[in-house]
Amino acid sequence: MENSIIELREVKKNFGVFPALKEVSFSVPQGSITGFVGRNGAGKTTTIRTVMGLMNYEGSVKVKGKEVREGYALLREGIGYMPETFSLYPYFSCKEMIKFNGKFFGKIDYNRAKEYAEIFELDLNKKIKFLSKGLKQALSFIIAVSTNPEILILDEPVSGMDPIARNNFLKILSEQCGKNGTTIFYSSHILEDLEKIADRIVIIHKGKILLEGELDNLKENYKRIAVVFKDAINKKDIERIEGIKRVEEDGNGFLIIAKRNPKNVLEQLNKLNPLSMDTYDMNLNDIFKEIVGGKDESTN
């Protein structure tokens, strides 16, 4: 992709004989909010740690056009990173922790950090050991985002946040991308949050990329169709229609999942003279389940 700020091509990563990433290829366009989703053990954290230069790998991983293994230290200043488990020193105050991390990031916008702390109702003078899990995550996020990064990489950032904190988090993310043009690469199990702000989705399963693309296009193509026929219809006749992913019999009718070109699917179904036919939109959670198929994963 021409304007990609992160680009992976045929990336492999093994832990001993165990393949964690299997020729992973995808791109993150500059200025996008890209959601990175997969079940537990799909390879999300391994991929992110590879992008962050924290793991050796086979293949190509480029950030801002430069191969990560050939000089990631030169790129680090422009990247904000919030790992799933952020190292926080319990006897530091929140303010001390922010200043401490500022030395590593090279710059921290302390006014912005204070502004975000107020949004999360986080007392910067409070010792970290007295914070709840959700407030620790909020502090970790504030540290990452207050560097005004060109790229913000987040790995399961809101698992301990309550609904109000999550809404504040999403609001800040949207503003960060909109006002500053920050590229956001965001891994999360909370698909309803991703659906609110992401414009692109990458799905990984068992170390392989199953899908990448615009979220709007994905939702436009995946539809649930309920159809009832007067006369008996052979299920196989419906399954032959191009663009159908799955067909289930439902009493006198069928429940159909279209995965591409739903207009054509509806046109072909109309030729079978249905008594009724209704089309329903699918949310990201529904689509994810259809693509992954509910199968167990075996990668880390």
Residues 176, 49 share a domain: yes
Q: Read off the CATH number of the domain in which 18 is found.
A: 3.40.50.300
Determine contact, residues 110/146, Cβ cutoff 8 Å.
Answer: yes
Domain boundary among 167, 190, 217: 217
Residues 180, 110 share a domain: yes
Domain boundary among 196, 217, 238: 217
Residue 198 is assigned to a structural domain of this protein: yes
Residues 246, 212 share a domain: no
Instruction: Provide the pairing of β-strand 151-155 with 79-82.
Output: parallel
Domain interval for residue 239:
223-281
Residues 135, 247 share a domain: no
Residue 75: predicted pLDDT? 62
Of 122, 294, 288, give the one whose Cα is nearest residue 198.
Answer: 288
Residue 106: predicted pLDDT? 63
Residue 174: predicted pLDDT? 86
Domain boundary among 217, 240, 270: 217
Residues 187, 47 share a domain: yes
Task: Identify the three-state secondary structure at position 258.
Answer: strand
Residues 247, 129 share a domain: no
Residue 160: predicted pLDDT? 83
Residues 256, 156 share a domain: no
Q: Output the CA torsion sign for 115, 117, 121, 123.
A: negative
Q: Read off the CATH number of the domain in which 251 is found.
A: 3.30.70.980
Residue 16: predicted pLDDT? 87
Residue 292 is assigned to a structural domain of this protein: no
Q: What is the pTM of this model?
A: 0.90
Residues 104, 232 share a domain: no
**Total tally of structural domains belonging to the chain:** 2
Residues 186, 133 share a domain: yes
Phi first, then psi, for residue 198 (nearest 5°) are -75, 145
Integer angstrom CA distances of residue 96 from 91, 101, 183: 10, 9, 28
Residue 300 is assigned to a structural domain of this protein: no
Run means of pLDDT, 10 residues per run, the chain, 300 residues: 87 92 95 94 94 92 89 71 87 93 77 94 96 93 90 91 93 82 93 94 96 95 94 88 91 90 93 93 95 56
Residues 277, 165 share a domain: no
Residue 184 is assigned to a structural domain of this protein: yes
Convert 11-30 to b/e letters by CB count within 10 Å (16 or more is b).
bebeeeeebbbbebebbbbb
Residue 105: predicted pLDDT? 66
* Angle subtended at Cα 210 by Cα 13 and Cα 145, rounded to the nearest 5 degrees: 70
Residue 14 is assigned to a structural domain of this protein: yes
Residue 296 is assigned to a structural domain of this protein: no
In sequence order, which ranges of the chain are alpha helices (DSSP H)? 44-51, 94-105, 110-119, 133-145, 163-180, 191-197, 215-221, 235-239, 262-270, 284-292
